[in-house]
Structure 1
Amino acid sequence: MTNKTNAEVAIIGGGIIGSAIAYYAAKAGLDVIVVERGELACGTSSRCDGNILAIDKDPGFDSLMSRKSQDLVAHLAAELEHPFEYRAPGSILVCESEEEMEAAQQWVNRQKEIGLPFRMLDREDIRNESKFFADDLLGGLECATDSTVNPYLMTFSLFEGAKKLGARILQKTDVTAVRREGGQFHIDTSRGEITAKQVVNAAGVWAPRIGQMVGIDIPIHPRKGHLIVATRQENVGLRKVMEFGYLISKFGGKRKVDPETEQYGVALVFEPTESQNFLIGSSRQFVGFDTRVDLDVVRCMARRATRFYPKIGDFSLIRTYCGLRPWTEDHLPIVSRVEEVPGLIIAAGHEGDGISLAAITGKLVCELLTEQSVTSIPTEPLRLERFMARNR
């Protein structure tokens, strides 16, 4: 990069959200530059599972937004040159109690009312799903359209697609200041100055830091999560499985679990991978930007996993790692123009749904950048102003 570079759109953040925005914006003919302080996909996008889920989204706007994203990802899988391990096997939630089965039935009814392909599963369905399941599981529910990707490969595939369309990608480039003067943005970086007509803040858990540079408070906080990678000597399951209690944990409710499981926000997540291993999650903690592995949390997750899959207790552990989810208090991302700073768009705060919602976020931000009068999904629920109104 020369000491001064100009672009129509500067995207700050080289994760999966930034990659989707770069691809759709470049495809629309915009002159795009992406600034990433580390390597591409080196933050949250490299420390997560890879699911495009509607099953765990609140029925209504949330689940319909995810369903839209699923359709876009299916198109991307056919459209992009580099494959990213896309599969659409559906996913399931399993229930431990009659109380959870009743709640699951209500969840299914609400999702079916808005046209989503949900159905209840009985005890026999669960037995047929995997011989490794505990015998006392009562049933669960399924969403047939849920899909899975390799988040690394999808991020790189989108960036490669964007580059072919003319986008420029700057890695190992730290943004040190952003200011708006004379109708355009001046972005100071560790590799010189960038000027742009519009800026997209897609910096995930670090979005508030970029917001502070232009005097904007962005209410996003890091929420830590652990993952275990284990090797499967034989096939445990073919698709994503979560416990119904995951929904309660995700949305901050109270579950009937031991104090440690509650304290660490642990709930079963099982995901088979293309490489014939499987991922075990999950945990949820507010501990700032600390990404060190806590073995107490890992043990708690392993105990929870063996409650649902008793026979995987002797499988080999490969590694454990942590990521930071960009959390907002209403569990929806911020995908919004900033009225106080014309030309600035925020696209962050997806919590654990960044992979799920990357495609629809990229499409929506492109529509905002090109000032479309009709957008793919309503923008009102995602506006930054919803938090300001709440805090007045």
Structure 2
Amino acid sequence: MRSGAVDLVVVGAGIVGAACAYHASRAGLSVTVVDSGPIVGGTTGAGEGNILVSDKEPGPELDLALHSHRQWRALAELPVRGTTFGELVEMEAKGGLVVATDRASLDGLARLAARQRDLGVEAVAADRDRLREHEPHLSDDLTGGYRYPQDMQVQPMLAAAHLLRLARRDGATVLPHEPVTGLLRDGPRVVGVRTPRRDIPAAAVLNAAGTWAGEVAALADVALPIAPRRGYILVTEPLPALIRHKVYLADYVADVASDSAALRTSTVVEGTRAGTVLIGASRERVGFDRSVSVPALRQLAAGAIRLFPVLRDVAVIRAYQGFRPYCPDHLPVIGPDPRAPGLHHACGHEGAGIGLAPGTARLVTQSLLGTPTELDLTPFRPDRFDPEVSR
């Protein structure tokens, strides 16, 4: 290591960067976190806090989701400041309820659930009557669905902030409002970062910059095809306990996996501890356009009313938007970049970053320490999109 260098600079103070800083610091590495804006000022601050296995097709992402779910459960029990981490971040093991409006959709859910069960996912069939037992205010027009007890929710801003607090307790330094303007190089090797205020030498640099991760990668002359995918969430006035689960239509899984750049909406409704109801989900690739799409908001509201007619006369008090870090193959980018030694990545999680963060962080830390990783990182390798490597 160069004189005065830290073991790791983490670029990005969202949930993934925060989790990586926590795990790396806990493992004994010296860590500095830098972010161009405030803590959780990007995608994490515009998220719902979902920790889901229900929406994952069997494959590398579901493997990572199950691995990460175990890390979230362990974190939940961690004693912190006279309580537990789970209480601090408002973790709720509420479960998910995926519903179908016709027989074809229900048959598709049944096939998916059967494949998921083979890998350790709990999926319990629910006919029309059982759906109403789970959610008394659901529409009568549903054919059936599946309940996923493992699905959970956290308050994402609290989760990231407390992970960073724990990292600082273990010696990490957090520097908000310091954009990375360049990477320090020793020949081809990345040996730190440059900000407008300082150079920070490091044995390794971790790109956890979310939607902006492609820009950070470009500083090392490597390409990552990560693009922003805009989404909106509606927030209702506080209500008495009305919705018990995260409830969404079966077409949500297909919309997540879609490559379309056009506006797509699929109904997702869930309550929070504060009593508000969160309504999503929309997806469209429009760059970093922050203008308000009235058609998207209308579609979200209409879908929520179809699913829960009781919401028809409930006031929406605000709407917010964020940009998911979209990858063409819908898998995150995790691990060392062979094209730029010293540069590592933990990015491209799209809308699953909250759920996948601690599992990603554990794998990244194992890779940094040179120990065997608990999951094979090959499907997530950073150079998989590079035509020079893929030949």
Shorter chain as denominator, the TM-score bin is over 0.9
**Counterparts of 1:286 and 1:253 in 2: how far apart (Å)?**
10
Name the residue aligned to 2:375: 377
1:128-177, Cα deviation, whole Å (9 max, x unpaired):
12232111101111211111111011001100000000000001111111
**CA RMSD of superposed structures (Å):** 1.8
Deviation at 1:391, TM superposition (A): 6.2
Name the residue aligned to 2:112: 107
Q: Is the Cα contact below 8 Å between 2:6 and 2:202 reproduced in 1? A: yes
| Equivalent of residue 191 in structure 1, options 188, 197, 205 | 197
Deviation at 1:186, TM superposition (A): 3.7
| Equivalent of residue 150 in structure 1, options 143, 155, 159 | 155
1:165-217, Cα deviation, whole Å (9 max, x unpaired):
00000011111111321666142102111111100000011011111111010
Deviation at 1:235, TM superposition (A): 2.6
Deviation at 1:291, TM superposition (A): 2.4
Aligned: 1:245 with 2:251: yes
For 2:144, give the aligned amino acid: G
Aligned: 1:24 with 2:44: no
Aligned: 1:215 with 2:213: no
**Counterparts of 2:233 and 2:270 in 1: how far apart (Å)?**
11
Deviation at 1:62, TM superposition (A): 2.0
Name the residue aligned to 2:91: 86
Name the residue aligned to 2:14: 15
Deviation at 1:5, TM superposition (A): 6.5
**Counterparts of 2:194 and 2:114 in 1: how far apart (Å)?**
51
**Counterparts of 1:80 and 1:16 in 2: how far apart (Å)?**
20
For 1:380, give the aligned amino acid: T
Name the residue aligned to 1:386: 384
For 2:96, give the aligned amino acid: S
**Counterparts of 1:115 and 1:365 in 2: how far apart (Å)?**
23
Q: Is the Cα contact below 8 Å between 1:184 and 1:195 reproduced in 2? A: no
Deviation at 1:292, TM superposition (A): 2.7
What SS class does the counterpart of residue 193 from structure 2 fall into? strand
**Counterparts of 1:305 and 1:118 in 2: how far apart (Å)?**
23
Name the residue aligned to 2:330: 331
| Equivalent of residue 225 in structure 1, options 220, 226, 231 | 231
**Counterparts of 2:167 and 2:291 in 1: how far apart (Å)?**
33
What SS class does the counterpart of residue 5 from structure 2 fall into? strand
**Counterparts of 1:283 and 1:157 in 2: how far apart (Å)?**
28
Name the residue aligned to 2:168: 163
**Counterparts of 1:17 and 1:292 in 2: how far apart (Å)?**
27
Deviation at 1:377, TM superposition (A): 1.4
Name the residue aligned to 2:127: 122
Count of matched residue positions in the alignment of Structure 1 and Structure 2:
381
**Counterparts of 2:270 and 2:239 in 1: how far apart (Å)?**
15
Percent same amino acid at aligned positions? 33
**Counterparts of 2:218 and 2:259 in 1: how far apart (Å)?**
32
1:229-270, Cα deviation, whole Å (9 max, x unpaired):
11243332112111101011111189xxxxxxx952100111
For 2:186, give the aligned amino acid: E
For 2:20, give the aligned amino acid: I
Aligned: 1:177 with 2:176: no
Name the residue aligned to 1:235: 241
**Counterparts of 1:48 and 1:186 in 2: how far apart (Å)?**
30
Q: Is the Cα contact below 8 Å between 1:33 and 1:167 reproduced in 2? A: yes
Deviation at 1:321, TM superposition (A): 0.7
**Counterparts of 1:163 and 1:314 in 2: how far apart (Å)?**
46
Deviation at 1:101, TM superposition (A): 0.7
Name the residue aligned to 1:257: none
Segments ≥4 residues shifted beyond 3 Å: 389-392
Q: Is the Cα contact below 8 Å between 1:9 and 1:197 reproduced in 2? A: yes
Q: Which runs of 5+ in 1 are unaligned?
A: 255-261
